[in-house]
């Protein structure tokens, strides 16, 4: 009996260690399928939306994504003593055709080490720090034709992957009573200028305030400041952005609001894009309603309308208006 007991101890210990290791590590599969119907009139003003239309595309109907469809994997391993390691990779594709994005891990592709008291250090392809305040101050989260974020300068500012940076090394601080900061540098690797960027965010209760910048060179840089306050019945937000892209300067002011209706959301926004020294200001209005069947599944109806100053071939630009109706499921 004693021999059997002694032989069982190592086996039980190994089983316990394996169970503990399994509990401390894990990989999560997640994603989104978001498809809808969109309609655009034959206006000639620039109107950029997540469905890919930019400028005068003529009157048309489309079935396409309203926010980018994705499949992702993220994992974390508890290394003990407050230290953990993790990764995230995210693929993007067109849900209506199944066509994969040419950059397979377009969304994100990075690895990190994190200490709960010291913060997070990461390497790889990740969003620039200026992206996070812009995302949080947009009621649509950069989705659909209603989003003002798809009209402001951060949307046209390019690193080497939309609002993401390849070859980046970054640091995310712990949360100090609502205050956080994110710093990052992206190596040019002989292809382009090295970029550096940072943000500072404060979020406590109903208050959110943030500022950020990204700098590749004097000819390519962006800075923003903004904030929001949640009154319960309505959450207004404002953001101001200044950017220089390929040596051309522009400013953008966005005023937005989110209005909860039980578990659902009304979204409203006005954005003015003002290029320096050019008579082609663009005013964009956005409105939308998102109805949630659950935390993961919703339908949305959105309208975006833009009017740009200036003319083409001697004819004044006309208002471009588009709407979309879509179904989104996150998993």
Q: Residue 96 sits in a domain of what CATH number?
A: 2.40.160.10
Bridge partners, residue 288, by sequence = 267, 302
**Mean pLDDT across 102-116:** 96
Is 151 part of a structural domain of the chain?
A: yes
154 by DSSP, 3-state: which? helix
Residue 53 has pLDDT above 60, yes or no: no
Bridge partners, residue 253, by sequence = 240, 272
**Mean pLDDT across 233-244:** 95
Return the structure tokens found at 275. Answer: 């290029």
**Mean pLDDT across 175-195:** 90
Give the structural domain span for 109: 30-330
Spatial distance between the Cα atoms of 250 and 123, rounded to a whole number of angstroms:
31
6 by DSSP, 3-state: which? helix
Per the structure, how many domains does the chain have? Answer: 1
Phi, psi of 153 (to 5 degrees): -65, -25
CB atoms < 10 A from the CB of 247, how many?
9
DSSP 8-class letter at 188: -
Is 2 part of a structural domain of the chain?
A: no
22 by DSSP, 3-state: which? helix
CB atoms < 10 A from the CB of 5, how many?
8
Residue 57 has pLDDT above 80, yes or no: no
Q: Which residue has the higher pLDDT, 312 or 179?
A: 179
Name the helix (H) or strand (E) containing 96: none
Is 16 part of a structural domain of the chain?
A: no
In contact, 178 and 202? CB cutoff 8 Å = yes
Q: Tell me the residue length of the chain.
A: 331
Spatial distance between the Cα atoms of 6 and 284, rounded to a whole number of angstroms:
76
Q: What's the mean pLDDT when you consider all of the chain?
A: 87
Is 7 part of a structural domain of the chain?
A: no
Q: Which residue has the higher pLDDT, 181 or 18?
A: 181
Say what the pLDDT of residue 24 is. 53
DSSP 8-class letter at 184: E
Say what the pLDDT of residue 14 is. 44
pTM: 0.87
pLDDT confidence of 313, banded at 50, 70, 90? confident
In contact, 287 and 306? CB cutoff 8 Å = no
Residue 8 has pLDDT above 70, yes or no: no
pLDDT confidence of 15, banded at 50, 70, 90? very low
Is 109 part of a structural domain of the chain?
A: yes
Q: How far is CA 18 from CA 209, 308, 309, in A?
A: 44, 63, 66
Is 12 part of a structural domain of the chain?
A: no
User: Which of 50-54, 145-149, 236-240 tops mean pLDDT?
Assistant: 236-240
């Amino acid at each position: 009996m004693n021999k059997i007991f002694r032989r069982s101890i190592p086996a039980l210990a190994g089983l316990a260690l394996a169970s503990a290791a399994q509990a401390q590590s894990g990989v999560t599969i997640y994603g989104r399928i978001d498809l809808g119907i969109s309609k655009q009139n034959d206006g000639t003003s620039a109107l950029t939306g997540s469905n890919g239309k930019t400028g005068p595309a003529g009157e048309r109907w489309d079935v396409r994504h309203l926010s980018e469809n994705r499949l992702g994997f993220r994992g974390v391993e508890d290394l003990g003593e407050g230290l953990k390691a993790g990764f995230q990779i995210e693929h993007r594709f067109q849900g209506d055709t199944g066509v994969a994005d040419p950059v397979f891990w377009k969304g994100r592709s990075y690895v990190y080490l994190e200490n709960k008291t010291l913060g997070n250090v990461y390497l790889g392809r990740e969003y620039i720090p200026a992206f996070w305040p812009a995302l949080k101050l947009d009621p649509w989260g950069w989705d659909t034709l209603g989003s003002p974020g798809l009209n402001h300068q951060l949307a046209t500012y390019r690193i080497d992957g939309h609002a993401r940076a390849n070859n980046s090394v970054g640091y995310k601080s712990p949360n100090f009573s609502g205050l956080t900061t994110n710093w990052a540098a992206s190596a040019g690797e002989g292809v382009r200028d090295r970029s550096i960027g940072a943000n500072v965010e404060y979020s406590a209760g109903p208050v959110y305030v943030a500022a950020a910048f990204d700098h590749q060179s004097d000819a390519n840089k962006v800075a923003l400041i903004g904030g929001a306050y949640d009154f319960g019945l309505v959450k207004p937000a404002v953001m101001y952005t200044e950017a220089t892209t390929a040596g051309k300067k522009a400013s953008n002011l966005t005023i937005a609001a989110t209005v909860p209706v039980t578990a659902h959301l009304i979204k409203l926004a006005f954005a003015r894009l003002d290029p320096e020294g050019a008579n082609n200001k663009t005013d964009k209005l956005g409105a939308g309603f998102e109805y949630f069947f659950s935390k993961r599944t919703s339908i949305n109806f959105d309208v975006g309308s833009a009017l740009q100053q200036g003319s083409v071939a001697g004819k004044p630009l006309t208002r471009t208006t588009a709407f979309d109706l879509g179904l989104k499921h996150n998993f």
